[in-house]
Amino acid sequence: SIYEMFGNECCLSTGEVIKVIGFKINKLIASICENNAVSQFSAKVELPLNFPGLYKVVADKTPYVSVEEITRKVSIGPTRFGHPCFYSPEDIKLANFTVKHGEQITFNSVEEINGTMAVNCVVIRNNQSHSFTLPLSQEGKFYECEDDQIYTLKEIAEWKIPKCRNRIVRLSDTLRMWDFSNILPENFDGCLILRPVYEVQAVMKFRKDIVHILSDLDVEVKDVTDCYDISSFLQPLSLEDVFERTSMEFPMVAEIMEGPSGIQKPYNLLSAGKEIVIYKKSQAARILSSEIRSDSPKRHFLIPMSYKGRFKRRPREFPTAYDLEIARSEKEQLHVVATKAFTSPHKELFSVSVGDQFLVQQCQTSEILYDGRKKVVDVLACEQILSGTYKKVLLPMYMEGGFVEVIHDKKQYHLSEICKEFPLPFNVKVSVRDLSIEEDVLAAVPGLQFEEEITDSYLLISSASSPVESWEIPVYRLNVLVHLLSKDVQSVVPPVTKTTVEEISKEQYYMLRRYENQTLHPPPRPPKKPT
């Protein structure tokens, strides 16, 4: 059979042995969803996996009838996406534990325990974590739990569409900035049914690349697994697979089977056919930063702590008095100018005019007269700067005004100094670029906001043929497949690590903010006007 693969004809000869290494969703067919079903008036459109937007997954109303069915149809794995949650409408009585009906059960991993395949599960009860196992033979009704996270289409395709099922999704309200009008079906209101179209991923004995075969290709095949030596085939590994290896297995030499196209380092090391040395895996810190600009779109960056450029401070803007309280620090007094007028409804509190300057002191309480009664409210104590003197004033914490910071500090800072001395978010501009980087993308950005410090997974690599410098590559943001080579590493000590500022997409930015903020408690809401 001859078929077209990415625009090239490919031949599958009679008798050729193919090792199937996986099934992957190639694209999605989207339809308008009405009452959990495809609308009879909806057209069907093809969506590529890189289609923009972030989506919430709607819980499947159809139950699974056993744990074994869940493990067959639902992706369970070591990454943060691979921990699906279910509940049972009936109590599940185990030897040492009873799962109550309606409790959320998190499925973490599948393994063999005393000769029986089982799923490692967790239930959170009264803020206590309870671990237990469910055998695959456990029967009963298991329903998907509601999922409040947001995902890209690619993440949904890889982790959130069970085999032999469709998936209903809703476009996240936070990202309606994209214009979908020319792509999605008419009358799109944010809810879609996604039907996956699969491809078979395979390797051939005398080829080093991955063969992608569409699932609707008309080819007859026979299973010869039991009578063939499959060790003669290459074993493709993703960067996630490599990262899951134990630290003792590093360093290793690998050949790229599939990788991104790019001419800049380190991406030029990852094109198909290149050989690399993978020295180690690590968790590394990055500063998540965004370009300061009023119009859209903003650029987003991940800056390593090894960045050698220097920064000067830029003024921050504060929409409310409450934001001034959050931003103030013991290190220096916050000096601001009002950019918006505010008339206080209470004589005890100060009315602000545009151009008024203040030194922010502290949060405190104050009595005001409200409808003839005394009421205690939170206020922000400040000193108004007048010509040659200062006046103590109280600003209501609920005040919606506008302030811009006055910067007196002319010092140039390294990234590590800013992270140590100031709370984030923090506004800066590059004053001295990093001369060790061929093209420092940050130097051309008029202003940056350092938003938060994140920790992410990286592999340290270099060229196998010319290991003069090493690079940290992100595990979860690059689509790379490698196979390991039986070659000795010339030196287990990696060459000097080069600094890379990674520019990330809007979707990747929201993904990183989402994961970091899962572990943080949101700040309290600003006080409301007294009622």
Within a domain: 78: yes
Within a domain: 326: yes
> In one letter, which amino acid is 482?
V
Residue 308 scores a pLDDT above 70? yes
CATH number at residue 359: 2.30.30.40
Residue 120 shares a structural domain with residue 161: no
Coil, helix or strand for 393? Answer: strand
The pairing of beta strand 373-386 with beta strand 389-396: antiparallel
List pLDDT tens digits, range 146-166.
998 888 888 888 889 998 888
The domain in which residue 80 lies consists of 60-145
pTM score, whole prediction: 0.66
End residue of a domain, out of 396, 429, 455: 455
Residue 24 shares a structural domain with residue 88: no
List pLDDT tens digits, range 32-88.
877 766 666 567 888 888 787 788 899 999 999 999 999 999 988 777 788 999 999
Instruction: Give how many domains the chain has, as a whole number.
Output: 4
Contact criterion met (CB below 8 Å) for 59 and 53: no
Question: Where does residue 372 fall: left (phi above 0), alpha (psi -120 to 50 degrees), or beta otherwise?
Answer: left
Residue 440 shares a structural domain with residue 428: yes
Residue 442 shares a structural domain with residue 338: no
Residue 227 shares a structural domain with residue 83: no
> What pLDDT is stored for residue 84 in this prediction?
93
Within a domain: 354: yes
Least confident of 89-103, 178-192, 253-267, 431-445: 178-192
Residue 417 scores a pLDDT above 80? yes
Residue 301 shares a structural domain with residue 429: yes
CATH number at residue 76: 2.30.30
Residue 118 shares a structural domain with residue 188: no
Within a domain: 8: no
Residue 391 shares a structural domain with residue 416: no
In the structure encoding, which two tokens stand for residue 462, read together?
């270099």
Which letter, b or e, does each residue of 110-127 get, where b requires 16 or more Cβ atoms within 10 Å of its Cβ? beeeeeeebbbbebeeee
What is d(CA 42, CA 30) in angstroms, rounded to the nearest whole number?
Answer: 9
Residue 385 shares a structural domain with residue 450: no
In the structure encoding, which two tokens stand for residue 310, read together?
């220097």
Residue 195 shares a structural domain with residue 77: no
pLDDT band at 7 (very low <50, low <70, confident <90, very high): very low
Q: How many helices (H) and strands (E) does the chain have?
A: 6, 34
Contact criterion met (CB below 8 Å) for 298 and 368: no
Within a domain: 479: no
Residue 225 shares a structural domain with residue 178: yes
Within a domain: 465: no
End residue of a domain, out of 145, 162, 177: 145
Instruction: Output phi, psi for 222, to 5 deg.
Output: -130, 135
% of the chain exceeding 70 in pLDDT: 87
Within a domain: 517: no
Mean confidence (pLDDT) of the chain = 83
List pLDDT tens digits, range 486-515.
888 877 788 888 888 999 988 788 777 765
Contact criterion met (CB below 8 Å) for 151 and 137: no
pLDDT band at 10 (very low <50, low <70, confident <90, very high): low
Residue 322 shares a structural domain with residue 399: yes
pLDDT band at 139 (very low <50, low <70, confident <90, very high): very high
